[in-house]
Structure 1
């Protein structure tokens, strides 16, 4: 959901896979890799504005994206081009896999939005998750996904997402 700016440094590619197909692929600037958490940064690259009602992603927004090799989620800090924090968009995913300079992440449909001030914590796309049939195909993955969403929601309500990614 992001892309590289013309003046950024070395890039890697983030490939978001959903239901066995690549949903989106975009270049991102590596920020860090501690052996477990991989962090990249990229500006919003979709054409125009995406208005969810609770947040708008628009040209100029910058995503700092945190992926883990051992956790079932990704946390994306979203800021305006001027640096104002909009909030955190969290994807429930299988643990990330880095293959050379490509970061592959399998999206499991569940999401969480946390506003910048923490006053709004929204569970998203639970209907899509049910419709995906993951619970029938891979019950252990479905259980891990639900546990990850619960964990992130608990952290967010306790004010812990900023601490998780700092």
Structure 2
């Protein structure tokens, strides 16, 4: 099913609390994968050193109901691709008006040209206690990060989003 300009509330949950909530436009929902377009929802500029997210940036976010990750294509206001920020999450849950995604602390960045692929926040994941509290979910999260890194290092990475 495709959606035309339907608004969707996106809630990113971490450690049982809503970390951020923002609104996007639902572009596509086929029952397994959703695509949502959103403006940068952060306050001001967020400089990671390898990429800057800033007002005017546009995110096209891809979520799956059967995969343990989300992929966010980041573009400048002028439409230039900065890269893809990938969150390791539990599978997305959507009730039609709200999309809820549980962030599991692991992340991956892939630059627009594919030359910079980096794993992020592995220390936060270890400190989260998930590996001890829920070893099965932790194993699924690490497997998802491994899969995303393999895909990100390949030239067909964007096929994942087609």
Which TM-score band (shorter chain)?
over 0.9
Aligned partner of 1:136 in structure 2 is: 132
Give the counterpart of 1:59 among 50, 55, 61. Answer: 55
For the aligned residues, what is the CA RMSD? 1.1
Aligned partner of 1:152 in structure 2 is: 148
- Whose strand proportion is higher, 1 or 2? 2
Given the alignment of the two structures, is residue 118 of structure 1 paired with residue 114 of structure 2, yes or no? Answer: yes
Q: Distance in 1 between matches of 2:157 and 2:60?
A: 13
Unaligned runs of 5+ in 2: none
- TM, length-normalised to structure 1: 0.93
Q: Which segments of structure 1 move beyond 3 Å, counting only runs of 4 or more?
A: none
Helix, strand or coil for the counterpart of 2:25?
A: strand
Give the counterpart of 2:83 among 87, 98, 111. Answer: 87
Asked if structure 1 preserves the Cα contact closer than 8 Å seen for 2:5 and 2:27, the reply is no
Aligned partner of 2:24 in structure 1 is: 28
Helix, strand or coil for the counterpart of 2:124?
A: helix
- What pairs with 1:89-108 in structure 2 (closer than 5 Å)? 89-108=85-104
1:47-74 Cα deviation digits (max 9, x unpaired) = 2110000000001100000000000000
- TM, length-normalised to structure 2: 0.96
Unaligned runs of 5+ in 1: 1-7
Q: Distance in 1 between matches of 2:118 and 2:70?
A: 16
Given the alignment of the two structures, is residue 50 of structure 1 paired with residue 79 of structure 2, yes or no? Answer: no
| Number of residue equivalences | 159
